[in-house]
Amino acid sequence: MTEKPKESKVDPQITKKLCEIVGEKNATDLKHIRYAYSYDLSFVKRKNPDYVVMPTTVGQVQQIMKFASQKKISVTPFTAGTNIGGLCIPENGGILLDLKRMNQIIRIDAESHYAIIEPGVSHAKFASALYKHGLRWSWPVGPPSGSVSSNAICHGIGGMSGRYGLNSEEITSMEVVLPSGELVRVGSCAIQEDAWHSCLPLPRVDGLFTGWLGTTGIITKIGVRVHPIPPILKVFTASTEKIGDMASYLRTLGNYEICDDLTGVSWWLSQVPIPYPYKPKPDGVPEWVSFATTFSWTEKEKEAREEIWRMAFDEEIKKGSSLKETQYPAEALKARTQLPSQIVGSTKNYTKQAGGGISWPGTFTPLNKWEPVYDAWKKILVARNLSPSVRVTNYRGVHYGMLRAMIPFPKQDPIAVENARQAIVECLKVDLNNGGIPYKPPVDFALEINKRAHPGYISLLKQVKNMLDPNDIMNTGKLAL
């Protein structure tokens, strides 16, 4: 049976106050509603919030945070709930602040190429609005219902990370409600209210709210860069027998900086859905397949990219690589190049065979460490009857990259969940020991990170956290400090 979350102690007076702020229909302590926020797809154990609140205005968020600060009530920010690291499962009960009703696209500046949005704006809604202007965002390979803002502030990646880097690098300004309820702005909008075009050349205080897992404030508006959509898409696909050959190919092609996205996936991840439990790869099928997306404005530009790709391909063949031109599995290719995706990120792709559970060791790992880490991960996962369904992706050429495994498991089986959790944490330790850093980390990961961290780093985190959140109410416990 699925483990039930511990029952919380609800105070009717707190519920009454929250209803006064947002209206009776937008605040509740009803058990069945709170239960719906107690879990996600990950291995993280269920934990109920005590109250669920859905504000619609910045003023309401401020009032909620002032009240929570006065009463020292924990607050967990929530948008779409599509992360798979337990980041929105409350560690300490308290208020679940659901921001999905704050879903306005405030401005799309088609001339200056930025947009201002609220935290509840989904990838699907943003895509629909941007396409009318011939613009795009770096859509992640995830559900269209996911939050654009949350993806950006958690250093999420997308279909243009090979060219532009992480989505957090596309942030241009922010409006934030601090744990005290104070409203602050960072970036150009802090100097001129209507200017949201850049965080630079000002001090990068937006970094106080990116990568902090919602522990330092509530982003109520965010500016992000957007980009034109060239009309000609060309996707190059190739395969290798070994991760070492794939890493070498992606490094060589990445040197030429012609790709928006440059990704390799193991055979197990290229299947729709991911096999569960583990099954061996068929004989004669390459272990790794890859796609490289390029966009061009003219046929001549596309032909030039084709020439460069061929040059990179030939370089690898001269090295004795197992690299071959190949057909990427059709549905999986569609899922990863037609974004926002309606296939990848859905239960159809990730959890259909397993039964509703999925977690990952998602990491930023230097490309030259992919081979030893993957080889170790494969042994760990196969030994636990789990598929080594792994993805590797270049960020901004070859500067660094992403290495992650998507591990499905049956959510209703506690033994299977614990088996997956232990495997994932084992994989994480291997990556940390090779210089990788996990992103969107659940508390289990944060504990391992902090064990290895320089004491000055931990001290600095604590000082910043205490400065911004002296009552420690914001997403309590997620940093494992």
Q: Would you state the pLDDT for residue 1? A: 40
This prediction has a pTM of 0.94
Q: How would you list the strands of the sheet with 324-325, edge to edge? A: 324-325, 232-240, 288-296, 261-266, 390-395, 400-405, 362-364, 437-438
Closest CA relative to residue 55, chosen from 21, 84, 30: 21
> Taking Cα atoms as reference points, which of 315, 314, 261, 322 lies closest to residue 292?
261
Residue 356's pLDDT is what? 81
- For domain 12-98, give the CATH number: 3.30.43.10
Buried b or exposed e, range 117-143, using 16+ CB within 10 angstroms? bbbbbbbbbbbebbeebebbbbbbbbb
- Closest of 303, 285, 288 to residue 247, by C-alpha: 288
Share of the chain above pLDDT 90, in %: 84
Instruction: Give the Å distances, CA to CA, from 388 to 279, 411, 423.
Output: 10, 19, 11
Tell how far CA 282 is from the center of its chain.
31
What confidence tens digit (pLDDT) does each residue in 104-131 have? 999 999 999 999 999 999 999 999 999 9
Model pLDDT, residue 220: 98
Distances (CA, A) of 461 to 212, 254, 453: 9, 34, 11
From CA 350, how far away is CA 363, in angstroms rounded? 18
Query: Around Cβ 393, how many Cβ atoms within 10 Å?
Result: 20
How far apart are the C-alpha atoms of 306 and 325, rounded to whole Å? 13
Average pLDDT across the chain, whole number: 93
Cα 354 from chain centre: 22
Q: Quickly list DSSP for 319-370.
A: TT---EE----HHHHHHHHSSS-SSTTSHHHHTTTTTEEEE--EEE--GGGH
Alpha carbon distance 141, 162 (integer Å): 14
In the chain, what are the domain boundaries? Answer: 12-98, 105-228, 232-441
Q: Give 3's pLDDT tier (boundaries 50, 70, 90).
A: low
- Residue 454 to residue 116: CA distance in whole angstroms: 37
d(CA 22, CA 456): 41
Q: Which helix (H) or strand (E) holds 240?
A: strand 232-240
User: Nearest 5°: CA angle at 147, between 145 and 149?
Assistant: 165
Provide, for the chain, the percentages of residues in helix, strand and coil under a 3-state DSSP scheme, each rounded to the nearest 5: 35, 20, 45
**296 beta partners:** 232
Class of domain 232-441: alpha beta
Report whether pLDDT(89) > 70: yes
* Over residues 201-227, mean pLDDT: 97
d(CA 292, CA 160) in angstroms, rounded, equals: 11
Per-residue pLDDT at 361: 86
Residue 38 has pLDDT above 50, yes or no: yes
Tokens 């495997």 identify what position? 423
| pLDDT tens sequence across 319-361 | 999 999 997 777 667 766 777 776 655 544 566 666 788 998 8
| Separation of CA 335 from chain center | 17
CATH architecture of 105-228: 2-Layer Sandwich (3.30)
